[in-house]
Amino acid sequence: MRASFAQGTTRDIKFRKQQLNSLLAGVRKNSKLLLDALSMDLGRPTVESEVFEIAPVEYEIGQFLKYMDKWAKPDKHKLGSEQAALLMCSMEVRKVPHGTVAIIGAWNYPIRLVLLPLIGALAAGNTVVLKPSELAPHSAMAIEILVSECLDPNAVRVVQGGAAETSELLKQKLDHIFYTGNGKVGRLVAKAAAEHLAGVTLELGGKSPVVVHHDVADLGATATRIMWAKLANSGQTCVGADYLLVHRSIKDKLVVLFRNFIENAYTKSPQKSPDYTRIINGRHWQRIMELLDATKGNIINCTDDQADQADRYIPPTLVDGVHPNDPLMSHELFGPILPIITYDTLDEAVNLINSRDQPLALYAFGSSKTTEYIVANTRSGSAVSNDTMYHMAANNYPFGGTGPSAGLSVDQKVCVCRLSEQINKAKPNSNSETKLFKSLAIILNDRTAL
């Protein structure tokens, strides 16, 4: 890859466009292969995979094809009269590729987490080594098939493997490393980048809180939106809702609404629902169950199901009366368990968030004044008022974490996606057939009115 970068293969903008067009055609042609792989790895319903993995990739390629010429053009700035010495010069800032880039993906959204950064890297003229996560082996293989079928091997290659192979890859002289995954490995990646003074982008995780204050406009819609961010992909989402901070006066009502949502979306037995995703593997299943076993909180079973190791299944579970020092609060949960902490004053909630690592995302429900107060007095990679995860649709805004959810090499930007406090009525209880697809439709319809 270094040799082909040196030969200039990827410098030509026509070549880059051709590669992106070919990738787009390949994703469309192979969409069944990709969706089946995701289903085998995660037991995830097709509609979720289409919404979260395939559609964003197609959209991103479309955006790059549309704007690439503009973005690739040199920037020219007008010289002020005080810079008279330069008036006879022609000056510009040219956009140049890094060189050879490694993209190392995680298993939870195994297609988008490698293809989205690939699109940007290719469009900018880099050569790329892709390393998909070994924990989602069917998706990793589908990516290899897709890349070898439609991209020039002088521009992109896929390497497979786990920690040992990735460590070898990281010893290579790379110009930039784009890593998505947990912070422990993120630190190893940053060290490896330092060896060669390579650039590094770290997309890490953390415990993203949800705060619900008593002045929220519509508790029903609030419950739907929180459960969506907890149960999509069975909670295995970097910007998912990790834990809930709720004002004491509305906690019981919210718990009833959560239970209604779960039953309507997945029935009393989500294990039999085609809409409920599995935990990625036995190790992660064990990790989540150990945290659940160790909690001192009050476990509220919301279904008739039991956790099932052989099926990598954990039912949606609420845990009430959780203390901030509870084992469930020790690490990012990455599973369908929602710890609930009650507070009496808003400052208690804000102080609790500020006493912990800065999260990747923060969700604040309440009046505009309340949500503004929460967002202004906390730090997070992104923050959303009266909704969850919706900022992921804002493709033209920056995305990333801050502090331990990103590494300090990334610009620390908070993207505030402020939605109206007047949440329209979502009706998760209205239809006994409600399944995830319908819940999603409700959420999306509900949003179009905002």
Catalytic positions are 203, 238
Q: Is 360 in the site for ligand NAD (CB under 6 A)?
A: yes
| CB of 57 or CB of 113, closer to ligand NAD | 113
Question: What distance in Å separates the CA atoms of residue 101 and residue 104, rounded to the nearest whole number?
Answer: 10
Contact between 205 and ligand NAD by CB under 6 A: the answer reads yes
Does 8 sit near ligand NAD (CB under 6 A)? no
Cα 105 to Cα 82, 159, 202, 355, distances in angstroms? 49, 11, 11, 30
With 0-12 / 13-18 / 19 or more C-beta atoms within 10 angstroms meaning exposed / middle / buried, residue 229 is buried
Residue 332 makes contact with ligand NAD by CB under 6 A: yes
Site string for ligand NAD, 237-266 (x = CB under 6 A): -x----------------------------
Tokens for 231, please give them: 């149960």
Single-letter amino acid code for the residue at 14? K
- For ligand NAD, give the closer residue by CB, 13 or 194: 194
Residues that bind ligand NAD (rule: CB under 6 A) add up to a total of: 26
274 binding ligand NAD? (CB under 6 A)? no
Q: Is 203 in the site for ligand NAD (CB under 6 A)?
A: yes
Burial class for 74, CB neighbours closer than 10 Å (0-12, 13-18, 19+): exposed
CA-CA distance, 224 to 427, in Å (whole number)?
9
Q: Contact with ligand NAD (CB under 6 A): which of 23, 24, 104, 374?
A: 104
Q: Which residue is at the shortest CB distance from ligand NAD?
A: 205
Residue with tokens 């709720």: 246
CB of 443 to ligand NAD, least distance (A): 21
Nearer to ligand NAD by Cβ, of 174 and 185: the residue is: 185
- 403 in Cβ contact with 186 (< 8 Å): no
Nearer to ligand NAD, 108 or 358 (CB): 108
Neighbours of 221 (CB within 10 A): 25
Give the residue with the Cβ less far from ligand NAD, 65 or 414: 414
d(CA 246, CA 212): 5
Comparing CB distances to ligand NAD, the nearer of 49 and 264 is 49
Output the smallest distance, CB 42 to ligand NAD, in A. 12
| Contact mark string toward ligand NAD, 107..136, x via CB under 6 A | xx----x-----------------x-xxx-
Can you state the angle between helices 13-29 and 137-150, rounded to 10 degrees? 130
Cβ atoms of residues 70 and 255 within 8 Å: no
Binds ligand NAD by CB under 6 A, chosen from 34, 35, 57, 106: 106
- Mask of contacts with ligand NAD, 160-189, x by CB under 6 A? --xx--xx------------xxx--x--x-
Residue 20 to residue 345: CA distance in whole angstroms? 51
CA distance 344 to 45: 39
**CA dihedral angle for residue 388, residue 390, residue 395, residue 397, rounded to 10 degrees:** -60
Under the binding rule (CB under 6 A), the answer on residue 434 touching ligand NAD is: no
Q: Strand 361-365 relative to strand 337-343: parallel, antiparallel, unpaired? A: unpaired
Binding interface with ligand NAD (CB under 6 A): 104-108, 113, 131, 133-135, 162-163, 166-167, 180-182, 185, 188, 203-205, 238, 332, 360, 401
